[in-house]
Structure 1
Amino acid sequence: MATRSAEALDPASAVGATAEAFLRKAVHSMYHPPAFQAQLDEVLTLPEQDRRRLVEEFADHYRRGSHTEPVRVKLLTLVVLVGQGLDALPLEEERAARLEALSRSHTFWYADRYEALAKAEIAAGRTLAPAVIATVRRSAMNAHGDTGLVEFAGQLTGPVLNAGEEWADRAMAQERWRELLAYALTARAAKPSAAWEKGGRALLDRLGADAVREAVVGWLALVGRPRTIELVRGEYEPDVNNAFDPFNADALRGLAWLLSFLPPHPGTVRALGALVESALRKAAGIGPRNPKVANAAVNSLARMEGAAALAELARLGTRVTYKGTAKLIDAALEARAAALGLGREEIEELAVPAHGLTEVGRAEFRMGEAVALLEVRGNRAVIGWRNAAGKQVKSVPATVRRDHAEELKELKAAAKDIDKALSAQAERLDGQFLARRRWAYGQWRARYLDHPLVGTLARRLIWTVDGTAVGFADGQLRTLTGEPLARGTGEEEATVELWHPVGREPAEVVAWREWLERYAVTQPFKQAHREVYLLTDAERTTGTYSNRFAAHILRQHQFHSLAAVRGWRNRLRLCVDDCAPPAVRELPRWGLRAEYWIEGEGSEYGVDTTESGSYLRLRTDQVRFYPIDAPQNEASTYGGEYTMRLPGGREPVDPLPLAEIPALVLSEVLRDVDLFVGVASVGNDPTWSDGGPEGRFREYWASYGFGELNQSAETRRVLLERLVPRLAIADRCTVEGRFLHVRGELRTYRIHLGSGNILMTPNDQYLCIVPGGSAGTAGADPGYLPFEGDRTLAVILSKAMLLAKDTDITDPTITGQIRR
């Protein structure tokens, strides 16, 4: 575009033609910064009066409203770009409204040049709203080398953090913390450098370590809460309202680092552990919210001395499934084990804290004249109270609330810590069957049976002491006959192992189940009632693979989470041209690798996939075993045959015959796979009676939801045959074949023992009751159960108690089906 003189631009038609020409070029070149900037630089050489006329012409175009919305946005931008240095620019209200809309956006595309509107506001002497500054900062982080936007964002020094997250709003409420937050924002590396640590320690000395710890721990408790400024989410955009603000995330990393420079404190350890879990919680279209923040918290825990930090790392090791963070945790635990000259398993055992418990499952705390009783009951901690007269009271005494607020706060926090620790330790113990772990008797008593926290789990399990199976009842170890375990010379060196039903006579297994009932022991997970998967004739025929759990349709993301918890490695299948290995569990103690072959189900984007393209469902195939170092198998994510990848000219390795797999390994692996199917199958979804998308899975849903029982359901059936006669509704219930029959006043119901789905008489009409979502299905007490963790069993019993009194049901979504 040629430079025009003031005389040439005097006529209105000339100004209009120039504006039209520049606008046409801007529409096509604004998204190409170098070309557009060259045109803009040329226009900016025009005299001031000519640029003002151009600005007014752009404003007239905008007011006429004849352009598309993207062009109208460009017109607003051209007004301020061409009007640089001019006062009283037109469309002030329109530009303010555009900035207000921008404040509700997560980011804008750098080529849209929205920062020009922001600069114009500043040039006019007005202050940008904090939410607008937040959007500009987030956009600059995705600017792909646009130095103009990045430089402008860097000039916006206030507020120190982005507004819109509760923790950040609270942190910025006091000016005294501005220096701390500004320093934390400089944490952009994977770990703090020596120089960063030196500066951080000097800052902590100036501000006071205790004050900083109290403030930061309070802020971290708010991380992950709903945004205080909700952002507009486009139809196909990720869930930005459930993500971490990427600008503030650097500050979270820095705060985590600073906590590691302080003396060890239970509140600090607790806060860092919670930050790891919050940062790894998934958001739709994003995945884990911010692994970098999680990794910073793990690194901080790894730097901290003391048993509390080590215990938190060990707990996280049982909970974290995100691969990168899990590796960091493993490395930290291995490093600590090497430093102490111990094995990884011993470190995890020694790291378990008592959390204030002074004896197994119990502790008392005096607070003034009142006494708090902290007790472990089952899988959770409860707090009871006695007043000054020694009388039990239901609520916290007023004197405790008034005079011992900090102690009460710490006691409640300890109870929450115990709840988390019990879950983690139960999972760790459940994994000991395949770990081939053995203990000397004295060591085992100290670390397990008599440990204040772990003892509450260990005393509900069956162990073998030099081959003699024992359980804990009435204050001591007892044999199957109820006799106390004989004690003698060399007892401290006796070998202790977890008892497993594989290889046991059926009569012994049944006897232990009766023993648990006799002593009213509820096991933390299935042990005496544990399913045993023996080799079948069909598997002897196939030889090297099992089809026992093939041809199922699973919800992919639920399967993925379950697999990670059970120690399997798996990759989410995306509907793209790619390859992926099967789900794999490595068993280093046995030199084996188990594989579960799966493939994505469907091909319709948005129906069979999430918005980000990951499959919603999987179709299952074979279970195989290989030597642990065998080359990896993989298959197209679209489905098809698995083939072995052979890097470096390696020879293929055949799968191992199932008959050669140790019975315990085969049983535990197949139990995992049964769990995946039993929990993640679409056949368990009571809302899928229509067969899902286009009815494609109706036949599968019906066959799974009401068909033959798998091994876990068979175990459930055997247990229900013993439990039902003891229920308050026993006269209305019978177990027959695959179903629990319940006689109500209006109908008779059949609850399938595998899926929990319900059929009604007459004509086997389907009754849809969504667990936990329908009034009346929760809260029913089924009485004594011999183990925890079988959600389907709890759902079946809850539904039975509801339906036995069907005339009392008030939920219209249920009564409408029953009375139809």
Structure 2
Amino acid sequence: MRSARSHLDRLRNRVAAFDAGRVADETMKMVASSRGYFGRPGWSEAVEELHALPVERRRAMLHALADRFPALGDGLDARCGAIVLTLRLSDGIDDDPLAAERQRALDDLSRVHSFWHASGFESLAEHELARGRALSPALVAVVRRSAVEAYRSNAVVDLAKKLTDPALNVGEEWAEQALRDAGERGWEALLRHAATATAAKPTAKWDKQARAVIDAVGADRVRETVPSWFALVGRPRTVPLDRRQYEPDVNSAYDPCNANALRGLAWLLALLPPHPDTARALGALVETSLKKVAGLGPRNPKVANAGVNALARIDSEAALAELARLAARVTYKATAKLLDTALETRAAALGLSREEIEELAVPAYGLTEVGRAGHPLGEATAILEVQGTKAVLTWQSATGKQVRSVPAAVRRDHPEALKDLKAAAKDIDKMLSAQSERLDRQFLSRRTWSYDTWRTRYLDHPLVGTLARRLLWTVDGHTVGYADRELRTLTDTPVTEGTEVTLWHPVGHDPAETIAWRDWLERHAITQPFKQAHREVYLLTDAERATGTYSNRFAAHIVRQHQFNSLAAIRGWRNKLRLMVDDEAPPATRELPQWGLRAEYWTGGEGQEYGADTTESGSFLRLRTDQVRFYPLAAPQNSAHCCGGEYRMWLRDGEDPMAPLPLTDIPPLVLSEVLRDVDLFVGVASVGNDPTWQDGGPGGRFHEYWSSYSFGDLNQSAQTRRALLERLVPRLAIANRCTLEGRFLHVKGERHTYKIHLGSGNILMTPSGRYLCIVPKSNPAVPQTGYLPYEGDRMLAVILSKAMLLADDAKITDPSILSQL
């Protein structure tokens, strides 16, 4: 392709000889080669020289360019560039041969996220405004978004300042609803003030003006209305945008201009009298804003942080509860740090520890006893009850008879109370999940409680008690569980008093005792909220004693990087995504301050082909795993090249290197829990779990690994699963068709006999040994099996659902499965 400079030279020759058609031909070539960007070399000179032509020659040029315009095709950049050029040529000329094409370009331009500041496309908008034609709201939004990304002195910024209406950008459902509501007095000023929230925190001046706009609308109306807008945040765009190559998923991200308004609205809510609806809405906004977008990461961390700051400013039980709930769930580093600061500040103000404030922050949500409350509403009674991981709302008539649906009288006479009950049920579901995760991370916290405090905050707490009563605890050195309204020992002897309480862990206990407690839980039909009695225990192996300072137990695996990164964050590890660039990164790290230790899991990027082995943004799709090591907490950080290679300790300011600690020096509980985390990362994120990878993935280069993992030896969690299936299979409706043999669950169907691997869930058909690919649902339901001792094993659900399907393979209708049978 010719350079812009050579195009300019040829154009000058054409202009000197002046033939409108030939000048237009060369001009169009220059437009096409530069794709309309006026910042390219030679562009500005070409435009100025054409503009200097006499009027009649420019008129001839306009029509010649219009005749050749279709040759540019559908490329928006080139079409807009050509139209901008014709606008410059048309000074003092009434002819408008490209009017229709200009309107088409404006319509197409209104569907992009933004345009580059050097393109000059703002001239199109300026042209419309100069002729008294209003820009469409969608195009106004494009200009505003472009101004956010432009240099401060750019003409795009100046144009955006002129476009004051509408107050928010269209295209997002919440914003369009807010604009409809803004038709009433006072609302528009409120929205415009909210949109000025561009700093990290509101200033005193901002707050003062905010209180004025709140007063103009009415505090109660603001409290009722703004949360209804937040409920629409994150929904699919009403004006979908065209996504360009290598651009993030702009349709799932927030409009950057509207994001400022969301921050301001969050700050506004913090100035209102406290209300549970306000805290609930802010908490939901934080979570919605942290959902991941392809090629971008979290949708908008600044909005999430604004929500946290607003909650931190509200002095109420509901706001504190949201902060505590979010602290247990949020993994995005910057927002998690804000949550930590907010809770620690509140704890310091009350003279409590961080752990204590988290415990005290859990509300009862209207429950009057552990896991249950009755709420009379007229002649009916609403029963709010926790069943496992969910809050269930049922109804009783005046005679105590259960009613299937909400009584009509309740809907008619008690709509607000009904709304509050439904909201409480949703809040309980969210908090149960958060508290279960918090408790699951308590094994390494070295937390102890006085007996009376523990009973108040855990065993007898209306919400947390539903979890605590399904766990095992140690009271003054004796293991106890809760059954038949009492704490009981293994022999069911009641325990009514004590001094010190800790959370029980199987490490350090005789395996026979642990098995006895499993039997005790089953005898009392107790389903634990996570694995505790069935928790995997990872003891030091002979191989690890031989290596001394590192474990290779989970080395040489291929894992999906982004899934690994998410799991690591959930389990309290810090990790940095590896990009295919010349840079270094630290290993995945879990700090254990209570033990003075730091655990590291070494990984490196897998692959060398950009695009095939990376996302569009350049992050590796997969990692190759290596060693697990332990260091003193204060040891200098290790790092290695993102593409893989040797880890080295990064020393500065005269620091001395520190050797990794011998594994024999690591407390057994710490070793077991850290290795359990790593086993989880591999067990969930390994490409060996992917049923569609039987060909070995890109280029087939992972075929050997996939085969060895998919049907190889069982890891610790799969062995636990096998032990559970030995008890479950006899209770299944298909028990007569199932047998457990080694690493597999064998299922006899009408067409074949199938072997389901207990680790990966992948399937072989016998006797041929052919592979059967069945892709499980994202959230498979556990088939009805009767009692289960613990919750949360997704692979168990996958295996059981596949077994149910294959036992009745004559009724399979899925064409993708039938074609393999």
Q: What are the superposed Cα offsets for residues 762-790 of structure 1, whole Å, 9 maximum, x if unpaired?
A: 2222121111179xx75621221100011
Equivalent residue for 1:803, pick from 803, 806, 809? 806
Question: Which residue type is aligned with residue 530 of structure 1?
Answer: R
Check whether the contact 1:771–1:778 (CA below 8 A) recurs between aligned residues: no
Question: Which residue type is aligned with residue 57 of structure 1?
Answer: M
1:113 alignment counterpart: 120
1:3 alignment counterpart: none
Check whether the contact 1:470–1:480 (CA below 8 A) recurs between aligned residues: yes
1:6 alignment counterpart: none
Q: What is the DSSP-based 3-state SS (H/G/I as helix, E as strand, rest coil) of the residue aligned with 1:275?
A: helix
Question: What is the deviation of 1:121?
Answer: 1.7
Alignment of 1:125-164 (within 5 A): 125-164=132-171
Question: Which residue type is aligned with residue 548 of structure 1?
Answer: R
Change (3 A) 1:81 1:782: farther
1:733 matched to 2:738? The reply is: yes
2:201 alignment counterpart: 191
Question: Which residue type is aligned with residue 416 of structure 2?
Answer: E
Check whether the contact 1:55–1:79 (CA below 8 A) recurs between aligned residues: no
Question: What is the deviation of 1:15?
Answer: 7.7
Q: What are the superposed Cα offsets for residues 332-390 of structure 1, whole Å, 9 maximum, x if unpaired?
A: 11111111111000010000111221111111222232221111111111111123443
Distance 1:808 1:19 in 2: 68
TM-score (norm 1): 0.94
Change (3 A) 1:71 1:337: closer
1:7 alignment counterpart: none
1:243 alignment counterpart: 253
Equivalent residue for 1:464, pick from 463, 474, 497? 474
2:581 alignment counterpart: 576
Equivalent residue for 2:357, pick from 347, 356, 366? 347
Question: What is the deviation of 1:686?
Answer: 1.1
Q: What are the superposed Cα offsets for residues 431-458 of structure 1, whole Å, 9 maximum, x if unpaired?
A: 1110000000000000000101100000
Change (3 A) 1:543 1:34: closer
2:488 alignment counterpart: 478
1:226 matched to 2:236? The reply is: yes
1:179 matched to 2:186? The reply is: no
Q: What is the DSSP-based 3-state SS (H/G/I as helix, E as strand, rest coil) of the residue aligned with 1:89?
A: coil
2:8 alignment counterpart: none
Q: What are the superposed Cα offsets for residues 595-641 of structure 1, whole Å, 9 maximum, x if unpaired?
A: 00000100111111111111111100000000001001000001101
1:524 alignment counterpart: 529
2:756 alignment counterpart: 751
Check whether the contact 1:573–1:637 (CA below 8 A) recurs between aligned residues: yes
Equivalent residue for 1:659, pick from 646, 661, 664? 664
Distance 1:364 1:45 in 2: 85
Question: Which residue type is aligned with residue 444 of structure 2?
Answer: L
1:256 alignment counterpart: 266
Q: What is the DSSP-based 3-state SS (H/G/I as helix, E as strand, rest coil) of the residue aligned with 1:689?
A: coil
2:405 alignment counterpart: 395
Q: What are the superposed Cα offsets for residues 398-428 of structure 1, whole Å, 9 maximum, x if unpaired?
A: 2223333332222222111111101110011
Question: Which residue type is aligned with residue 722 of structure 2?
Answer: R
Distance 2:630 2:16 in 1: 85
1:414 alignment counterpart: 424
2:650 alignment counterpart: 645
Check whether the contact 2:66–2:97 (CA below 8 A) recurs between aligned residues: no
Change (3 A) 1:107 1:85: farther
Instruction: Identify unmatched segments of 5+ residues in structure 1.
Output: 1-9
Distance 1:42 1:234 in 2: 33
Equivalent residue for 2:61, pick from 31, 37, 57? 57
1:338 matched to 2:338? The reply is: no
Higher deviation after alignment, 419-428 or 143-152: 143-152
Q: What are the superposed Cα offsets for residues 646-696 of structure 1, whole Å, 9 maximum, x if unpaired?
A: 111211100000000000000000000000011101111111111111111
Equivalent residue for 1:95, pick from 96, 99, 102? 102
Equivalent residue for 2:563, pick from 558, 563, 588? 558
Instruction: Identify unmatched segments of 5+ residues in structure 2.
Output: 1-14
Alignment of 1:502-521 (within 5 A): 502-521=507-526
Check whether the contact 2:39–2:119 (CA below 8 A) recurs between aligned residues: no
Q: What are the superposed Cα offsets for residues 270-292 of structure 1, whole Å, 9 maximum, x if unpaired?
A: 11111111111111111111111
Question: What is the deviation of 1:81?
Answer: 3.0
Question: What is the deviation of 1:41?
Answer: 7.4
Q: What is the DSSP-based 3-state SS (H/G/I as helix, E as strand, rest coil) of the residue aligned with 2:494?
A: coil
Question: What is the deviation of 1:65?
Answer: 3.5
1:695 alignment counterpart: 700
Check whether the contact 2:24–2:65 (CA below 8 A) recurs between aligned residues: no
Pairwise CA RMSD: 2.4
Equivalent residue for 1:781, pick from 779, 784, 791? 784
Question: What is the deviation of 1:142?
Answer: 1.3
Distance 2:195 2:509 in 1: 60
Question: Which residue type is aligned with residue 440 of structure 2?
Answer: D
Q: What is the DSSP-based 3-state SS (H/G/I as helix, E as strand, rest coil) of the residue aligned with 1:647?
A: coil
Question: Which residue type is aligned with residue 256 of structure 2?
Answer: P
Higher deviation after alignment, 568-577 or 353-362: 353-362
1:358 alignment counterpart: 368
Check whether the contact 1:444–1:496 (CA below 8 A) recurs between aligned residues: yes
Change (3 A) 1:34 1:429: same
Q: What is the DSSP-based 3-state SS (H/G/I as helix, E as strand, rest coil) of the residue aligned with 2:619?
A: coil
Distance 1:764 1:511 in 2: 39
Question: Which residue type is aligned with residue 321 of structure 2?
Answer: A
Equivalent residue for 1:541, pick from 538, 546, 550? 546
Check whether the contact 2:21–2:64 (CA below 8 A) recurs between aligned residues: no
Higher deviation after alignment, 358-367 or 151-160: 358-367
Distance 1:288 1:747 in 2: 46
1:722 matched to 2:727? The reply is: yes
Check whether the contact 2:79–2:105 (CA below 8 A) recurs between aligned residues: no
Check whether the contact 2:550–2:663 (CA below 8 A) recurs between aligned residues: yes
Check whether the contact 2:783–2:797 (CA below 8 A) recurs between aligned residues: no
1:790 alignment counterpart: 793
Q: What is the DSSP-based 3-state SS (H/G/I as helix, E as strand, rest coil) of the residue aligned with 1:172?
A: helix
Change (3 A) 1:719 1:53: same
Question: Which residue type is aligned with residue 424 of structure 2?
Answer: A
Distance 1:56 1:383 in 2: 77
Equivalent residue for 1:669, pick from 660, 674, 684? 674
Question: How many aligned positions are there?
Answer: 801
Q: What are the superposed Cα offsets for residues 196-229 of structure 1, whole Å, 9 maximum, x if unpaired?
A: 0000011111110110111110000000000001
Distance 1:610 1:36 in 2: 34
Change (3 A) 1:439 1:52: farther
Equivalent residue for 2:333, pick from 323, 331, 338? 323
Q: What are the superposed Cα offsets for residues 213-268 of structure 1, whole Å, 9 maximum, x if unpaired?
A: 11110000000000001111123221100000011111011001101101111111
1:706 alignment counterpart: 711
Distance 1:359 1:87 in 2: 81
Q: What is the DSSP-based 3-state SS (H/G/I as helix, E as strand, rest coil) of the residue aligned with 2:247?
A: coil
Change (3 A) 1:293 1:85: farther
Question: Which residue type is aligned with residue 545 of structure 2?
Answer: R
1:814 alignment counterpart: 817
Distance 1:24 1:706 in 2: 60
Question: Which residue type is aligned with residue 735 of structure 2?
Answer: A
Higher deviation after alignment, 385-394 or 649-658: 385-394
Q: What is the DSSP-based 3-state SS (H/G/I as helix, E as strand, rest coil) of the residue aligned with 2:820?
A: helix
Question: Which residue type is aligned with residue 60 of structure 1?
Answer: A
Check whether the contact 1:543–1:657 (CA below 8 A) recurs between aligned residues: yes
Distance 1:809 1:15 in 2: 70
Equivalent residue for 2:774, pick from 766, 769, 778? 769
Change (3 A) 1:486 1:371: closer
Check whether the contact 2:575–2:589 (CA below 8 A) recurs between aligned residues: yes
